[in-house]
């Protein structure tokens, strides 16, 4: 049992994991992301996540307006292009990691095999029960982070294929798919196919998700920022372009996002009915 510990801790991984893992985190789970919230809208980011709940209660998720389903108590969330609702009415102690793009090989599968879905971790790794028991027995949150870090190290894959590494680096610098294809010597179609297999979405979609994420984080940090200015600084052609991507990827307008005032930029408190079904 943890005593006198912070609700939430996070840190970067060790150097050997930094090409694959962005952040490790652990929570004791006594508080929801927003006071009184029972649901939240999780926005897509172009990244993958792994989470292990330590009380064995399953995570429940739903498409907006759809029925909820159980996705297990240890799951990998693949790259997504749509938001989903998550039940946060009964917070639980948990440990997890935000993963860098293209590291589905941590789980022995290509990125497209995990995209748009929550996959039970025990379908990908052996002895997940043993991992959960070790995490639950740890005396501190830092100890839990160290245990998950060691498990991720044990599954650490090799480096990205040169084409994928080059594409990710160039997309981060603002290059287009055509430029990456010309530089690589491969066709546009080949680059798109290989990228989708590794990352889980096509290159153009990946770049749009990254731009949407920048806009969401900026709006969360500066809610008084005008939407025309936000569109400009986030790399959109104009405000309608920004609004369309908020609708496509977030299922809401920039104005509604601002009104809902999420505590965490990518986790929006939600009040619509959360239908349930057995699962």
219 within some domain: no
pTM for the complete prediction? 0.88
> Is 71 within a domain?
yes
What's the pLDDT score for residue 273? 45
Give the domain CATH number at 65: 2.60.120
Residue 193 is predicted with a pLDDT of 96
Question: Burial level of 258, CB count in 10 A (0-12/13-18/19+)?
Answer: middle
Taking the C-alpha atoms of residue 31 and residue 92, their distance in angstroms, rounded to an integer, is 9
Each residue's pLDDT tens digit, 197-207: 999 999 999 99
Q: Is the pLDDT of residue 241 over 50?
A: yes
> pLDDT tens, 96-115?
999 999 899 999 999 999 99
Q: What range defines the domain where residue 147 resides? A: 8-154
**Residue predicted with more confidence, 62 or 36:** 62
pLDDT tens per residue across span 131-164: 999 999 998 999 999 999 999 999 998 888 999 9
pLDDT at 36 exceeding the cut of 70: no
Residue 188 in any domain: the answer is no
Distance of alpha carbon 192 from alpha carbon 240, whole angstroms: 27
Per-residue pLDDT reduced to its tens digit, 44-96: 988 899 999 998 888 889 887 777 888 889 999 999 999 999 888 877 899 99
253 has a pLDDT exceeding 90: yes
67 inside domain: yes
Per residue in 222-238, pLDDT (tens digit) is: 999 999 999 999 999 99
Q: Is residue 147 part of a domain?
A: yes
Residue 178 belongs to a domain: no
Domain presence at residue 57: yes
Number of separate domains in the chain? 1
Q: For the chain, what is the mean pLDDT? A: 90
In which band, very low, low, confident or very high, does the pLDDT at 6 lie, cut at 50, 70 and 90? Answer: low
For residues 166-197, one letter each, b for 16 or more C-beta atoms within 10 angstroms of the residue's C-beta and e for the rest, the string is: bbbebbeeebebeebbeebeeeeeebbebbbb
Establish if 215 belongs to a structural domain.
Answer: no
- Band (34; pLDDT cuts 50, 70, 90): low
């Amino acid at each position: 049992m943890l005593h006198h510990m912070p609700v939430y801790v996070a840190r970067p991984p060790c150097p050997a994991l930094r090409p694959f893992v962005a952040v490790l985190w652990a929570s004791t789970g006594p508080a929801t992301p927003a006071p009184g919230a029972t649901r939240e809208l999780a926005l897509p980011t172009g990244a993958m996540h792994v989470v292990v709940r330590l009380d064995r209660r399953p995570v429940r998720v739903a498409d907006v307006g759809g029925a909820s389903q159980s996705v297990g108590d240890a799951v990998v969330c693949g790259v997504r292009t749509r938001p989903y609702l998550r039940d946060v009415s009964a917070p639980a102690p948990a440990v997890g990691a935000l993963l860098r793009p293209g590291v589905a090989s941590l789980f022995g599968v290509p990125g497209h095999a995990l995209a748009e879905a929550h996959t039970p971790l025990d379908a990908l790794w052996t002895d997940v029960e043993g991992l959960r028991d070790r995490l639950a027995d740890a005396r501190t949150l830092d100890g839990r982070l160290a245990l998950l870090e060691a498990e991720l190290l044990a599954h650490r894959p090799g480096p990205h294929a040169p084409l994928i590494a080059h594409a990710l680096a160039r997309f981060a610098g603002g290059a287009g798919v055509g430029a990456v294809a010309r530089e690589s010597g491969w066709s546009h179609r080949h680059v798109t196919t290989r990228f989708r297999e590794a990352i889980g979405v096509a290159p153009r979609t990946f770049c749009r998700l990254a731009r949407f994420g920048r806009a969401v984080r900026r709006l969360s940090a500066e809610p008084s920022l005008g939407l025309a200015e936000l569109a400009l600084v986030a790399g959109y052609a104009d405000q309608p372009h920004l609004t369309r991507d908020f609708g496509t990827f977030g299922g809401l307008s920039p104005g509604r996002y601002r009104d809902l005032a999420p505590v965490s930029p990518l986790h929006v408190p939600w009040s619509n009915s959360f239908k349930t079904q057995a699962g």
